[in-house]
Every structure is written in structure tokens, then in C-alpha cells.
């Protein structure tokens, strides 16, 4: 078997403030990518000028004008021609070991379809806010475990992963109805087709906090996409993997509904909730929690066992990450 080829795709739209840093980070790799593909969705800032500056080092493509987020991801992935392909947002940064670590992970298992790694959360200026290692995932996770383990959310960071191109083609494109959680759909769809590999090294900077309060801005999209995950994507993945017991999907769906409703009760004032409630209604009907949704609209604070556990995790996780990092030091 010959040496595997590895490429990185950058889907972008109007992020010229960050794009050049992203490109330079990929040009400064210990294991250079075999290709860098930039998919510009008709940016109106100086993104085209930055891409032109690196002509010969990157390949520029343009998706169909009408595509949405999921369509842009599908187009960028399929525009890459290598054995292993990746996506890196145009506001994120690859560490020098990005390609080397992901390519190494791809060679660890013959049936690998996805490689994931650790990352740093960075702010608008690039300053490191925190480090994130996946403390609970095994080095190699085979189906159906790699499906079940994602029942409460993606176990892959969008800034630190690569997939086998052949498996992506076989699993099918990300459903274009996805508005925000397209990366999670991609991960779960791939899971029945082979193993996930985890490389316990930080390979990227994932930029957070520079584009406003995402909970308020994206809540409607997240709630619609969550239902698509639990009632379309996960059942299909479970079927493909031969999982006969799928009760865990309904359980996870309700747990996530309760968590989101509890967070919304903290985020939105009683006066705002009448406008927010319709986003929850179809999901509440599916989980049987219409009464709880009425309590939310009436201004009651929603605090569930699930939400309390989630708050506890947010307090404990930073300390656990620090301890984990100390143990990793030679």
C-alpha cells in the first residue's frame, strides 16, 4: 500500500480578517498537506484578494451560489481529491503538527474512517483560552460504539479531524437541511462505516467568542437540527450498524430537550419567552413535554436533573482538564 495522500479544505465566507492566518498555518506544517482547497462562497470582503495572493499554493473553488452551510461543507469535501480529507474553518488555525498527526492517525487502523485530535480554544486575537483533550474516548473506537457515544453531542472538534474520502462518498452527503450542526451529522453518518481513531495531541486553535452570543443567535437552528439528528440521522446510522435496540435515541433526545429548555430559562427573560417557545414546540410534542414548555412560557425557571448535571460538568471539567494535562507531562 502506497503512502496515503492528505488534503485540507477551507470553507469560507467574509472572514478575510482571519483567512490569511489560516492559510499560513497550513503552509507551515511538519508534514505539508498534499493540497489545500479554499471554497469561497462569494465573499464580498477582500477574501478573493487573499486567495489570489496564494495562487499556486492553494486551489480556489466556488460552490453553487444557492448552497447553505451543509451544502458548502459537502462541496468543499468533494472538491478535495486525496485519500484523507479535512475541513478547517477560515477563522481557525492549524498548529504545525495538524497534518502530521491526522495522517498518522489515519494509518493506525485499516478500517479507520475518521481521525480526531485535541485542540485549543482561542479568542479573536489568537490567545489561548483553554485546552481540550477528549478524556473519555478510546484510541480506537469501532461501530456501533462510535455511534452510541455521540448520543449527547459530537465527539469530534470541527477544527481537529479528518475523514477517509471513500467512506464519505459511501455514507452519503450531509443532509442539506442542516443549518448549523452539519459537522455532527457528518460524524454520525460516517460512524457505521468504520473505526474512529483518537490522537491525543493538540493540533489546532478553535476560535470562539468573537461572533456574539451563539445561544441567542442560533437557538432556532440548533433546535431544528437537534430533531434532525435524533429522528433522522441517528436512526439511519443505528440501522446501518445493525443496532436493534434504539431506545437510547429517544432517551437522549428528551435529555437534550430538557437541557436546552433549562438553558433557555436562564438566558431569556419571562417577557422574551413567548417569542422563543415556538422553536421548542415540535420537539416538546415528540418528547411529551408540552406541560413543561407551558411552564417555561409562564416564566417559571426550568431546572431539571439533566440541567443540574450539565452545570456540574461545566464547573468540574476545567479542573479535570488541568489535572489531565499535568499527568500528560513527561
Alpha-carbon span 108 to 197, nearest angstrom: 7
Q: Where are the beta strands (DSSP E) in the chain?
A: 6-12, 35-40, 59-61, 84-87, 93-94, 112-122, 128-132, 140-141, 161-164, 195-207
Q: Which DSSP category does 60 fall into?
A: E
Q: In 3-state terms, what secondary structure has residue 99?
A: helix
Check if the beta carbon of residue 116 is closer than 8 Å to that of residue 161: yes
Name 1's Cβ contacts closer than 8 Å, sequence gap at least 6.
Answer: none
Q: In 3-state terms, what secondary structure has residue 186?
A: helix
Name 295's Cβ contacts closer than 8 Å, sequence gap at least 6.
Answer: 302
Q: Identify the pLDDT of residue 307.
A: 47
144 preceded by cis ω (within 30°)? yes
- Which phi-psi region, left, alpha or beta, contains residue 209 (left: φ > 0; alpha: ψ -120 to 50)? left
The C-alpha cell at 86 is 479535512
DSSP states of 200-245:
EEEEEEEE-SSS--HHHHHHHHHHHHHHHIIIIIHHHHHHHTT---
Neighbouring C-beta atoms of residue 56, cutoff 10 Å: 5
- Biggest CA-to-CA distance, the chain: 64
Q: Where are the beta strands (DSSP E) in 5-156?
A: 6-12, 35-40, 59-61, 84-87, 93-94, 112-122, 128-132, 140-141
The C-alpha cell at 11 is 470553507
Alpha-carbon span 5 to 3, nearest angstrom: 7
How does pLDDT run across 47-59, given as a tens digit for each residue?
Answer: 999 999 999 999 9
- Burial (Cβ within 10 Å: 0-12, 13-18, ≥19) of residue 118: buried
Task: Give CA 235 to chain center in angstroms.
Answer: 19
> What structural domains does the chain harbor?
6-207 (3.90.550.10), 214-323 (no CATH)
The C-alpha cell at 27 is 503552509
Q: What residues does 58 pair with on adjacent strands?
A: 55
10-residue averages of pLDDT along the chain (330 residues): 88 97 98 98 97 97 95 98 98 98 97 98 95 93 98 96 98 97 98 98 93 89 98 98 97 95 94 96 97 95 65 54 54
Which one, of 252, 247, 265, 250, lies nearest residue 304 by Cα? 265
Which one, of 128, 122, 120, 140, lies nearest residue 202 by Cα? 120
Q: Identify the pLDDT of residue 323.
A: 60
Q: Identify the pLDDT of residue 3.
A: 87
How does pLDDT run across 88-135, given as a tens digit for each residue?
Answer: 999 999 999 999 999 999 999 999 999 999 999 999 999 999 999 998
Q: What residues does 118 pair with on adjacent strands?
A: 202
Amino acid at each position: 500500500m502506497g503512502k496515503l495522500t492528505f488534503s485540507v479544505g477551507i470553507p469560507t465566507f467574509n472572514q478575510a480578517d482571519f483567512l490569511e492566518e489560516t492559510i499560513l498555518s497550513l503552509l507551515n506544517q511538519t508534514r505539508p498537506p498534499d493540497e489545500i482547497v479554499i471554497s469561497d462562497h462569494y465573499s464580498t470582503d477582500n477574501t478573493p484578494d487573499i486567495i489570489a495572493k496564494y495562487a499556486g499554493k492553494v486551489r480556489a473553488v466556488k460552490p453553487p451560489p444557492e448552497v447553505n452551510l451543509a451544502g458548502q461543507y459537502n462541496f468543499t469535501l468533494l472538491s478535495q481529491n486525496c485519500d484523507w480529507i479535512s475541513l478547517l474553518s477560515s477563522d481557525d488555525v492549524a498548529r504545525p503538527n495538524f497534518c502530521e498527526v491526522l495522517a498518522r492517525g489515519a494509518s493506525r487502523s485499516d478500517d479507520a474512517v475518521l481521525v480526531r485530535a485535541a485542540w485549543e480554544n482561542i479568542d479573536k486575537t489568537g490567545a489561548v483560552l483553554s485546552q481540550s483533550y477528549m478524556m473519555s474516548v478510546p484510541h480506537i473506537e469501532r461501530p456501533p460504539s462510535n455511534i452510541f457515544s455521540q448520543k449527547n453531542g459530537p465527539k469530534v472538534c470541527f477544527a481537529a479531524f479528518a475523514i477517509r474520502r471513500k467512506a464519505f462518498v459511501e455514507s452519503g452527503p450531509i443532509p442539506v437541511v442542516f443549518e448549523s450542526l452539519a459537522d455532527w451529522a457528518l460524524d454520525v453518518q460516517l460512524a457505521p462505516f468504520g473505526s474512529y481513531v483518537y490522537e491525543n495531541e493538540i493540533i489546532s486553535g478553535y476560535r470562539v467568542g468573537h461572533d456574539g452570543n451563539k445561544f441567542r443567535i442560533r437557538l432556532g437552528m440548533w433546535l431544528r437540527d437537534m430533531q434532525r439528528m435524533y429522528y433522522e440521522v441517528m436512526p439511519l446510522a443505528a440501522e446501518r450498524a445493525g443496532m436493534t435496540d434504539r431506545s437510547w435515541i429517544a432517551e437522549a433526545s428528551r435529555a437534550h430537550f430538557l437541557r436546552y429548555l433549562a438553558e433557555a430559562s436562564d438566558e431569556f427573560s419571562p417577557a422574551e419567552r413567548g417569542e422563543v417557545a415556538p422553536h421548542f414546540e415540535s420537539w416538546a410534542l415528540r418528547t411529551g413535554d408540552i406541560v413543561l414548555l407551558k411552564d417555561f412560557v409562564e416564566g417559571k425557571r426550568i431546572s431539571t436533573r439533566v440541567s443540574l448535571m450539565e452545570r456540574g460538568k461545566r464547573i468540574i471539567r476545567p479542573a479535570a482538564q488541568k489535572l489531565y494535562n499535568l499527568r500528560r507531562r513527561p
